[in-house]
Structure 1
Amino acid sequence: MLKIISSLIMALTVTLALMMMCTIISKTMKNDREKSSPFECGFDPKATARMPFSLQFFLIAVLFLIFDIEMVIILPMVITMKPSNNYSWMITVMTFMTVLLMGLYYEWKMGMLEWAY
């Protein structure tokens, strides 16, 4: 029993030592062009932090979140269609879709979806 425990401790020690060596060897500390380049959002990481935020980027992110949450709400509605009353289910879905479409129409009419000003 003692031999098994000591061999397990030895195997664990060797494994940890190999993991630490691989971590140290694989790290590159060089600053290359890819690390210095801007990220997908378009911000330059070397620029000042007080730059104005793009309103179009914010609106697209909000629209994505709204329609992503819409899908999370609509998909379970399809599953609950069979056990529920068809009339009340249809009223619920139509009300939900009407509110979403009215919001999208409002954003469109107010010019929030325009890219060029």
Structure 2
Amino acid sequence: MKILSQLSLISVTLSLIFFVCTWILSPKYKLILRDTYSTYECGFASRRKSRLPFKLQFFLVGILFLIFDVEITALIPWGVIWMDSQYYSQLVLILFIRILVLGILWEFVLGGLLLNRSVKSEYLWIYDGEYVVFLPWFLFCILCSMIYDNLKYVVLVGVVAMSVFWVK
């Protein structure tokens, strides 16, 4: 206990010494110039504001990318040990991938992945009146995959849905 109190006393003393040295050596006045905080455009005076508004949708897509990128990074070790793993760990991996796919589909349905907000429909069943989106059929094939626990239904129904129900 005595060593711990000595270490804490030393750390507090060193912190105070650094704080006082910084305070003493820092300049006492700050010269604030108007040009310091203004924009610089190759030596010319700026004609308009340099700070443009940032669309929130780009930020949301970046956050979604970050979330799904971290989740996919979590899949890499499982991919390495897939063949040597037990039935339980394979089941956990399949459930994790299904939750990941359902999450990205949910974001697609709600329009979170759209950068252009000119979509007329609420749930992307019709996109600008020209394209019929195959999303209900893709959700159906995901459901078939969950019921039958086989990935070939996803590929088969997804290809059929994309080729037949994507109408111009």
TM-score (structure 2 length as normaliser) = 0.37
Q: CA deviation at 1:115?
A: 2.0
* Greater helix share, structure number: 1
Give the drift of 1:67.
2.4
**Deviation at residue 79 of structure 1 after TM alignment:** 2.7
Question: 2:64 matched to which residue of 1?
Answer: 63
Q: CA RMSD in A?
A: 2.6
Contact 2:61 2:112 in 1 (8 A): no
Where does residue 46 of structure 1 map in the other structure?
50
Q: CA deviation at 1:63?
A: 2.1
Equivalent positions of 1:15-26 (< 5 A) are none
Q: How far does the alpha carbon of each residue in 1:50-89 deviate from its partner, in whole angstroms, 9 at most, with x for none?
A: x4x422211221122122212220111123334431x112
Identity of aligned residues (%): 31
Higher RCO (C-alpha 8 Å, min separation 6): 1
**In 2, distance between residues paired with 1:81 and 1:116?**
39
Residue 115 of structure 2 aligns with which residue?
A: 115
Count residues with an aligned counterpart: 73
Q: Counterparts of 1:24-39 in structure 2 under 5 Å? A: 33=42
Q: Distance in 2 between matches of 1:82 and 1:32?
A: 58
Output the CA distance in 2 between the equivalents of 1:99 and 1:111: 18
Partner Cα separation in structure 2 for residue 55 and residue 67 of structure 1:
19
Q: Which residue number corresponds to residue 92 of structure 2?
A: 92
TM-score w.r.t. the length of structure 1 is: 0.50
**Which structure 1 residue ranges, 5 or more long, are not aligned?**
1-30, 34-44
Cα deviation for residue 107 of structure 1 reads 0.7
Q: Residue 26 of structure 1 aligns with which residue?
A: none
